[in-house]
Each structure stands twice: as C-alpha cells, then as structure tokens.
Amino acid sequence: MTAGTLRRNGVFGAAVLALLAVPAPAVAEEQAVAGGRSATQAQAVSQEAVRAAALPAPDLAGLRAVLRSAVRQGAPGATARIDERGTVRKEAVGIADRGTNRAAADADRFRIGSVTKTFTAVVLLQLVDEGKLKLDTSVNRYLPGLLPDDKITVRHVLSHRSGLYDYTNDMFAKTVPGFEAVRTKKFTYRQLVNLSLRHPRTGRPGAAYSYSNTNFVVGGLLAEKLTGRTIATEYRKRIVEPLKLRDTFYVHPDTALPGRYARGYLTPDEAGAGLVDSTRQTVSWAQSAGAVISTAKDLNTFYSALLGGRLTSKKSLTEMQRWVTVNDTQAYGLGLRRRTLTCGVSVYGHTGAVQGYYTFAFTSKDGRRSLTSMVNTSNNGTVLNTMLGTLESAFCGKQAETRSGSVPVERYEDIAPSVAVAVAVAD
Ligand code: REX
C-alpha cells in the first residue's frame, strides 16, 4: 500500500490527529518547568546531564545501513554527518543529481525546511535579550490588528499553541499540483496569515500544541517589524556571520540554491509515478517557517552553538526549553524540538520537510555531539521513518540495536496533520 493510497483512504488523518491532539499533560509539563522542579524532575534532569556527558559511541555501520535503507526505499541520495568536539564522522549514499549521476556528498547544500524555525526563534529570543520583545505579550501589541485575538502571545506562536490554522494543509492537500501552484509564487507574510485566518482557529491561545507554519510566518513578521530589517539580514547578522556559517543562505524569493547542492526530488502521491525535480522554487509559502538553505556542517555548528549557550542568554535558552508534550517521545519548546531516543538520551533540534528534502538536525543536551542527516526526496513516509534511525545510530550507538533488536519504528513524524504521510514498517 502506498502513502497516497493510505492518505486517500483517510486512514492516517485520524491517526495523526490523534497523535497530535495535545492532552492536558502538555500544559502540566510546562507548568512544572515554570513553577520549579519536583524531586523526580530534578533527578531526571541530572540523569540527562550524566547521559550527555557520556553518550554511547556512534554506530557508523548502523548509520550507513540506515542511509542505504532510505535509498532502497526511494531516496536518490542520503547523507549524515556527526560533529563532536572537532571529530567529524560522515556518510553519504546514493546520488545528489539524477541528471548527472553525481554522488551525494556531505558538503552539498540543501533546503532545510522547518529547521529554519529554530533560526527564527533565535532571532526573536535575541530581541527578547535586548529588551525589544516580551514572550508573554500579545502579538497584536507589536503588530496591531494582525491576529483576531489579543490573547495570542509571542510565546504561544513560538510553541505552536496559538490556535492559528496551518494554511499549508490546504495548499499541499494534493502534493505535486499543490507544489506546482506555488513553486514560483511570491507571497507576503500577511497573505499567508490571511490564508490561515480563512479557517476557524484550532484551539484557544495557550491551550494546546497544534503544529502550524502560520506561527513562524508571524515570527518573521515580528522580527522584521521590530528590527526594521529583512529576516535575511537578521539571520545573517545574528547567526550566519557570528558562527561563520559559510554555506547558509536565505535567498527568498530567488529560486536557485547557490554553489554546489543536492537536487531535490518530490515523491508524487500516485503509486509508481516518477519523482518530480523540485529543486527550484521560491519557498515563499514558508519563508521564515522554512526557506533557509544550509549544509550538515553548518547545521551542526548552529545547534552546538545554541545548546552550548553561545547564541542567546542563559535565560532565553531556558525559555526555549520549556517543553510542551507532543507525544510519548517528543516535546516542543520555542522553535525547538526534543526527541527522546530508545536508549533514554534526549536530543534537541528540528526536523525539516520541503519538497524534495527531509532533514534531521539534532544535538545533545550540552551541544557537544550534533547530527544532521538528510535525503533528497520528500512525501515518502517510509523514508522519513527510516531516517529517524540516523538519530539512534548517532546518539545511542549500538545500544539502540541491542535494546530493540532493530532500528526503532515510529509510525508517524510530527508534521502538519494533513500533510503527514503514511509509512510502511521499515525494511
Ligand atoms: C509541507 C509539505 C510540509 C511537504 C511542511 N513543512 O509543513 C514544514 C516543515 C516547513 O519542514 N515541517 C517539519 C510535502 C516536518 C517540522 O516542522 O518538523 N508534502 C512534501 C505534501 C503532502 O505535499 N501532501 O513532503 O514535500
């Protein structure tokens, strides 16, 4: 059964929505963090600190096996890179360009999708540090009349608890036609927000986690309003230049990736249909929610710096890590995901999905070990699920295998509900 078939049958919509429905514990977890730690929580935190200091060695053979599986399952190419205190481990399988058959390589640039959300959050948290923005203030205070409810705060937006509908649900209900309809379009942020506001809100402000790209479009608007400069300038001045990220760009609305890059290949919904080269696009539908271009090396540098406390104040980094529960193994902070792996280690970063590319970029609690893995296809839930195994190999090493007997299978990735795709159990 293909992803398309399953989606058409509506099997997944309900299941994914059930996973995303945020239960009361989400708020409870956040309140616990806000209101001081219980003994159990303090113990969990110290155990986490011990684990971070002594992570199992990465399993490079396992990592390579995961990439090979992803290629067997339909990704033209797959790469993974681990950076740990100056030591680099990298693996690449398959091809970056189906036209020339050029092999996939660690240095290839690619579209990082929602990993962009952490960049946007960092810009905003730096503005908090500078006293120009307050997390618990209404978005409308900074952008009068933008949102239909003054109770929606900056924190709600950055933690996906605004209740603002995700306009990409409609946009990409049909994968290839949806993509082709926006491939060369240029939207303003406000046009995207207005697409969202055509729909009822998904919940009360602050009540529940409900993933929505709209939130980080609002984030981009806030950054531009408060600084009087473009988001491209803010990414460059605040992140790219200080960290010397030589392969990180925000070229919106240009459609080309600069320099050497992996081409992206979108998987159509229809079983058996050929991959669509989706490399060139404005990514205007995502902008500050998903349009950055980067490399594995730069993303590893970025997350190591962030968790290592080099991009924001300590207080802001703590705010970014006030977690709202997503499901059993995942939580969301402010533009930051936390995933707990089978060996008990938690990792911090973000996932990304834009047409033709899936990215996983995560680091350890102390920022010392970072992994970025990517494939140059998307809309292939089997591949997406397989690639989760790169986190297991990188942070749990062989412990991941001995515990579960195989790479763990998580059936759904947390992406916007209507664009989530079905997965088959990994081979
Ligand atoms: C857009 C559709 C999915 C992709 C999306 N992407 O919301 C954001 C993102 C920017 O990166 N989210 C990640 C398309 C997962 C995150 O926040 O962690 N799918 C595709 C469809 C399905 O069109 N009909 O797979 O390329």
CB-ligand 1 contact for 138 (6 Å cutoff): no
Identify the pLDDT of residue 29. Answer: 47
Closest atom, ligand 1, to C-alpha of 290:
10
Would you name the residues annotated as active-site residues?
114
One-letter amino acid identity for 60? L
Q: Is the pLDDT of residue 9 over 90?
A: no
Nearest CA to ligand 1 atom 18: 351
Distance, CA of 163 to CA of 125 (rounded, Å): 21
Residue 200 confidence class, pLDDT cut points 50, 70, 90: very high
Distance, CA of 83 to CA of 296 (rounded, Å): 9
Each residue of 87-130: pLDDT tens digit? 999 999 999 999 999 999 999 999 999 999 999 999 999 999 99
Each residue of 304-349: pLDDT tens digit? 999 999 999 999 999 999 999 999 999 999 999 999 999 999 999 9
CB-ligand 1 contact for 300 (6 Å cutoff): no
CB-ligand 1 contact for 289 (6 Å cutoff): yes
Q: Is the pLDDT of residue 262 over 60?
A: yes
Nearest CA to ligand 1 atom 17: 114
Residue 80 confidence class, pLDDT cut points 50, 70, 90: very high
Closest atom, ligand 1, to C-alpha of 379:
25
* Average pLDDT over all residues of the chain: 87
Cβ 176 vs Cβ 4: under 8 Å:
no
When pLDDT is averaged across residues 163-191 and rounded to a whole number, the result is 98
Distance, CA of 353 to CA of 291 (rounded, Å): 10
Identify the pLDDT of residue 19. Answer: 26
More confident position, 412 or 223: 223
Q: Is the pLDDT of residue 27 over 60?
A: no
Angle at 388 between CA 382 and CA 389, to 5 degrees: 100
Q: How far is the CA of 36 from the centre of ligand 1 (A)?
A: 36
Report DSSP letters for 360-416, one per residue: EEEE-TTS-EEEEEEESEES-HHHHHHHHHHHHHHHTTHHHHHHHSSS---S---S-
Q: Is the pLDDT of residue 223 over 70?
A: yes
Q: How far is the CA of 353 from the centre of ligand 1 (A)?
A: 4
Identify the pLDDT of residue 106. Answer: 97
Distance, CA of 330 to CA of 49 (rounded, Å): 18
Note if the bond before 253 is cis, omega within 30 degrees.
yes
| Of 168, 156, 147, nearest in space to 208 by CA | 156
Nearest CA to ligand 1 atom 3: 353
When pLDDT is averaged across residues 43-51 and rounded to a whole number, the result is 59
